[in-house]
Structure 1
Amino acid sequence: MWKKDTWVKPYLKQYKFLLVTVLFLGVCTIFCGAALMFTSGYTIDKSATHPFNILLIYPAILLTRAFGIGRPVFKYVERLRSHNWVLKVTSKLQTRLYKTVETDAAFFTEKYRTGNLLGLLAEDINHLQNLYLRTVFPTVVGVLLAIVVTLGLGYFDWWFAFITAMLLLIEILVVPLLSTAIEAGRRQKQKTYKDQLYTQLTDNILGVNDWILAGNQQQFQDNVQQKVQLLNQSKLHSNHFRWCRDFLLQVVLAGIFITLMFFASYRLTGSVEQANYTAAFVLAVSPVGEAILPISQGFEEYPLYKDSIQRLNDLQPTVQDLPKQAHLDPQQFQNLKINNLQFEYDADSPVLIKDFQQNLHRGQKLALIGPSGTGKTTLLQLVNGDLQPQKGSVTLNDINVRTLRDEQRNLFSFLNQQPFLFNTSIMNNVRLGNPHKSDEEVKQALKAVHLQELIESLPDGYETNVTEAGARFSGGEQQRIALARILLQDAPIVLLDEPTVGLDPITENELLNTIFTVLKDKTIVWVTHHLQGINHVDQVIFLNHGKIEMQGNPKQLYQDNQHFQELYKMDQGL
């Protein structure tokens, strides 16, 4: 895994000097702590022998003050530098993850279940952050400290140094490895439970209205509660294990204290002067626990970090073989042509779009209707170049749309079933369409979609916070805010993916009238599930199994096509 790793090693190399500085500061912190206890113990013992001159203990007093100040200073600087290092690395990782996901957005939901995707985004990057803070830093500092302690004792007596080294080895290696072996399976199970909870919670929240309408609120709760109980039970077992492990570590640490007491009694009692160092040596080991006890926790979590690293390394964006990019001025756009498209997601999937063709001139409107799964939304992704067909092409002014990927934002706007509104002001949400537009232009866009009166009646007006996902506003109002964003973007082609789903008939009709009024000069490809507002388009196409089953002008079809007449009457409830 580590040989092929591209998510951890590159940043270890990039910030290696900062990492070395952090580790050095960590060792200095522990050293100051040990030295503080050493000089304190020496001062206490020396004072107890009634020195005939205060100068005999004054240097020890000064050193006690110096190490007492040095310890928090080194600790503070070490924390600043370590978090600075981690935040730099995390920022790089998050940016890279976003670019990877964004590059592969068209296929991403096909490759990952919701739970795995949310687990990837919510936890794996944080796991790598904790890898440094809770595993790398404590382990390296603890090992360095164990080496220093062993060598220091070895200067006086290699036998006691060996015994202390064995006890330290239990603390920094044996117990951590046992902890990892015992907890690895439990941690993986907890990760699985979390992924399943992400999936269940997403499904339940998105389908909450269906749960309530079906009268199955209790089942709604039970679906999640069972997994939560299993997760909590597993965490309880982990907490109990950690308590036992930490108790064992404290017992071993007490063994180190006892060993040093024997060492001090054996080697430092030959004279009164030597005896002054007895308490100093014993007390100096007390900060060791602060450095080595966290190692087991870090080792225990390593399997999670390993899984996260593996998942991230497996996350490779689909390399799109894009042709040489071209340029098309949005104002010069005149024609959208779909030429004999054929598309399937992979060799094992059925052909979703077959021999589809259409020709739209600037300002024309096309509606796509058909059963679910017939490729209507996929067709929109082919039109704007997100997907590459196995056969055929989409061209703008006879320029392949695949060569216009760099111009996509300037040429296409998109309005789907649930446009995302951010937890910020109305002005900021609309200005996303074009950050360079003035406040007055933003307000004009909101006026065009008939929101001016509503917004100006609010206490904070245009600075009103829409709250998370636009929850402050109704579904129709959310769509109007998103429509204002499209107006501000001013792209010549607008793709509509069932923007009125879930709205009541009156709101739906009003919104459709607004959409086709304010976008009257735009070329529109509209995916819809029924015939409400179909009179706004120039052409309507019925897709079935990836093929065109019926097409034509809606008014002409209503006059000449009996099947269309029946569908229209059924849709209108006539």
Structure 2
Amino acid sequence: MKGQGQQGQKGQLAQREPWITPYFRMYSGRFALYLILGVLTLLTASMLMFTSGFLISKSATMPYNVLLVYVPIVGVRAFGIGRAVIHYVERLVGHDAVLRILSKMRVRLYRVLEPQALFIRSRYRTGDILGALADDIEQLQNVYIRTVFPSLVALFLYAAAVIALGFFDWTFALLIALYIFVLVAVLPYISLKLTRKMDTQVKQERNGLYQKLTDAVMGIGDWVISGRSADFLREYEQDEEAVMRKERKLRAWARWRVLIGQLVVGIAVVSMIYWSGAQAEAGQIDYTLIAAFVLVVFPLADAFLPVSEAVQRLPEYRESLNRLDRISGRDSAAPSGASAAKVAVSPEAVAAAAGSAHLRLEQVRFAYGVGDGNSVDGVTLDIPQGKRIAVIGRSGAGKSTLLKLIQGAIAPTGGAVTINSVPSADYGDDGIPRIISVLNQSPHLFDTTVANNIRLGRPDAEMEELARAAEQAQLAELVAGLPQGLDTPMRETGQRFSGGERQRVALARVLLQNTPVLILDEPTVGLDPRTERELLSTIFRSTAGKTLVWVTHHLVYAEQMDEIIFMEHGRILMRGTHAELMEREPRYRNLYHLDCPKEG
């Protein structure tokens, strides 16, 4: 039970935890190694240039014995090879850590979204989710390898360079410290102040383009049919050009920033030439060290110049984090009554409900937000195991909300929804799938085999069980005609099959799941009347003994239901058996005659 409690709170913990800092602790060893290697890379590069400068100057004096330059020759070779090897290992360690983090971030985002699957489309736009999964998560890898660690390495080398130079001349060391301060503090601050607003705008507008393009791709058929595809492309290109103008301004400033940084480095080089020459003139250092001191400035500059770009990226990271926080911290803005941290019930209670489930709704009310009207208002239902109930009503009557309440996806703002006297929300994300299965109007079929699509209902099922579920769903003849039987690929979204065949595959999936309660959420929408009747006949025949909650707009086979309720404005307007409603409710009788003229 303790393990189930921890599992039930996993999504909540993921929502409260920051997106950046936990991974510093998780991968502290790798990051420490990455920092050390980063420092060593620049130190070996500096020593390579220092030794090379000394070797060139010493060789120019034409020493009478090659042994006098043997040590610097060996040093150049060692530092040259060492720099390349250390830099390679540094990149390997850094990217290994970052790719591990990206993997965990994506899993974490999925864990945040997965419990909200039943109402995810009403909360988020598809483009936002795709943007978060692709762009925002990808963007955050740069926090580590392009911002935090380069800045830490630069600050370490800043201190080391000033201290090392201080051993020769503290006055000149302070002057160099001022130059470096301009590179690691002043220039980044100015860059951030000048570009922060525009960087934020570019990020937000890019997100808008992402959403607009996603929306257009999903509706591309309608754009083409309406003859408006050219209008969309023109509008999209105008919006993209507006974003690109801002990006060009940012790139123009980046070029100026690099130029200013190079000028500061150039001034530092000239100052180093002047100082080292003066020091050699005064006999403080050897003349052969002048080139060594000057050349060492260049690899150190490679550590300081990227700091400006690293700091300038902060607004982009903030926007990415804001969007991830809006998604992962959604509970704070969730609809009133949304299911919060779920209390795990005992395994025995889940097992009992998986065998026989008695559903009760007692004066249930639910509103999506403060001040909103009740989507479900005072609904009372008693559904013992095996009862078949149909829920009808126009769009917006509260039918879908009622299903979410039964599934425990949301908790009522008033009244109670229970399964075997336990609130449905308390069964959690692991318990409910063992009790309730759903066949909706557009089940997703994956680009894999028929068998794998059916096996989603129970991953450990044997092939014999899959075949039996397919036979119950009246798929045996179809499967027999496929080139590879159950191992035949279905193609993306099941395009290989017709609408009725796809629904039968989904039915086989829920039959394999073998739950005591089956929710039918308008599974025949879009099917022709004959296919609709055949599918419903198959469903009712194959689910004998199971509880059925059937949401529908049609009254075909309504006579097979034990109870029919008609909802309007969240309330039950009519209820009874088909015969009772036909006798006493003229409105129901008229609807039935329109829907089923032959039976009428």
> Structure 2-normalised TM-score?
0.85
Say if 2:570 is the partner of 1:546. Answer: yes
AA aligned opposite 1:134: R
User: Counterpart of 1:374 in 2: which secondary structure?
Assistant: coil
TM-aligned CA distance change 1:217 to 1:64, over 3 Å? same
Indicate yes or no: 2:457 matched with 1:433. yes
Residue 446 of structure 1, aligned match among 449, 470, 473 = 470
Aligned residue for 2:373, secondary structure, equals coil
Q: Out of 377, 394, 400, which is 2:400 matched to?
A: 377
Q: How many residues align?
A: 571
Match of 1:63 among 75, 91, 95: 75
Q: Contact between 1:106 and 1:387, CA under 8 Å: does it hold in 2?
A: no
CA contact 2:458–2:513 (8 Å) conserved in 1: yes
Could you tell me how far 1:324 is from its partner in structure 2?
A: 6.3
Aligned pairs for 1:356-371 (under 5 A) are 356-371=379-394
Displacement, 1:132? Answer: 1.0
Determine the C-alpha separation between the residues in 2 that align with 1:572 and 1:197.
Answer: 47
Q: Deviations over 1:436-471 (max 9, x none)?
A: 112332343334434455556555654444455445
Corresponding position of 2:273: 261
8 Å Cα contact 2:521/2:551 also seen in 1: yes
1:165-176 alignment, distance < 5 Å = 165-176=177-188
- The code of the aligned residue for 2:396 comes to G
Aligned pairs for 1:75-94 within 5 A: 75-94=87-106
SS in 1 for 2:286: helix
Tell me if 1:316 matches 2:329: yes
Greater mean alpha carbon deviation, residues 289-298 or residues 109-118: 109-118
Q: CA deviation at 1:284?
A: 2.1
Cα distance in structure 2, aligned partners of 1:316 and 1:293: 37
Distance, in Å, in 2 between the alignment partners of 1:166 and 1:323 is 59
2:253 is equivalent to residue 241 of structure 1: yes
**Pair 1:348-2:371 in alignment:** yes
Work out whether residues 119 and 194 of structure 1, in 8 Å CA contact, stay in contact via their aligned partners in 2.
Answer: no
Mapping of residues 182-331 of structure 1, within 5 Å: 182-222=194-234, 224-268=236-280, 274-310=286-322, 312=324, 315-316=328-329, 318=331, 320=340, 322=342, 325-326=345-346, 327-328=349-350, 329-330=352-353
Q: Is the deviation greater in 277-286 or in 443-452?
A: 443-452
Counterpart of 1:67 in 2: which secondary structure?
helix
Residue of structure 1 in register with 2:10 after alignment: none
Once residues 482 and 427 of structure 1 are traced to their aligned partners in structure 2, the CA distance between those partners, rounded to angstroms, is: 11
Distance in 1 of aligned mates of 2:545 and 2:18: 48
CA contact (8 A) 1:342 1:354 kept: yes
Instruction: Write the deviation string for residues 511-541 of structure 1: whole angstroms up to 9, x where unpaired.
Output: 3333333333422212223334545533332
Deviation at 1:311, TM superposition (A): 5.0
Deviation readout 1:472-495 (Å, 9 max, x if unpaired):
554444433332221221111112
Tell me, in whole angstroms, the C-alpha distance in 2 between the residues paired with 1:457 and 1:81: 53
Partners of 1:511 and 1:7 lie apart in 2 by 47
Classify 1:459/1:321 alpha carbon distance in 2 versus 1 (closer, same or farther; 3 Å). Answer: closer
Q: In the superposition, relative to structure 1, how do residues 169 and 334 fare at CA in structure 2: closer, same or farther (>3 Å)?
A: closer
- Measured after TM superposition, the shift of residue 29 of structure 1 is 0.5
**After the TM superposition, which of the residue ranges 462-471 and 59-68 deviates more from structure 2?**
462-471
User: What is the RMSD of the two structures over their aligned residues, measured on CA atoms?
Assistant: 3.1
Question: Is 1:47 aligned to residue 59 of structure 2?
Answer: yes
CA deviations over 1:20-56 (Å, ceiling 9, x no partner):
2211110001111111122222222222222211211
Q: For the structure 1 residues 512 and 5, does the alpha-carbon distance in structure 2 shift closer, same or farther, using more than 3 Å as the test?
A: closer
Q: Secondary structure at the match of 1:354?
A: strand
Q: Which residue, out of 129, 141, 150, partners 2:162?
A: 150
Equivalent residue for 2:504, pick from 477, 480, 501: 480
Kept in 2, the 8 Å contact 1:431–1:488? The answer is yes
- Alignment partner of 2:389: what SS? strand
Rounded to whole Å, the distance in 1 between the matches of 2:479 and 2:267 is 71
TM-score, normalised relative to structure 1: 0.89
Which one-letter code corresponds to 1:539 in the other structure?
E
Change (3 A) 1:423 1:225: farther
Change in 2 beyond 3 A, CA 1:361/1:506: same
Counterpart-to-counterpart distance in 2, 1:111 and 1:80: 39
1:337 aligns with 2:337: no
In structure 1, runs of 5+ residues without a counterpart are none
CA distance 1:423–1:239, shift in 2 (3 Å): farther
Residues 194, 497 of structure 1: alpha-carbon distance in 2 compared, 3 angstrom cutoff? farther
Question: Contact 1:150/1:162 (CA < 8 Å) preserved in 2?
Answer: yes
Deviation, 1:388, is 1.3
Contact 1:100/1:317 (CA < 8 Å) preserved in 2? no
Distance verdict in 2 for CA 1:570–1:181, change over 3 Å:
farther
1:61 aligns to what SS in structure 2?
Answer: helix
CA distance 1:491–1:27, change in 2 (3 Å):
same
Distance 2:65 2:149 in 1: 44
- 1:482-521 alignment to 2 at 5 Å? 482-521=506-545
**Following the alignment from structure 1 to structure 2, what is the Cα–Cα distance between the partners of residues 273 and 188?**
51
Distance verdict in 2 for CA 1:98–1:570, change over 3 Å:
same
Single out whichever of 85-94 and 35-44 deviates more from structure 2: 85-94
How far did residue 558 of structure 1 move?
Answer: 4.4
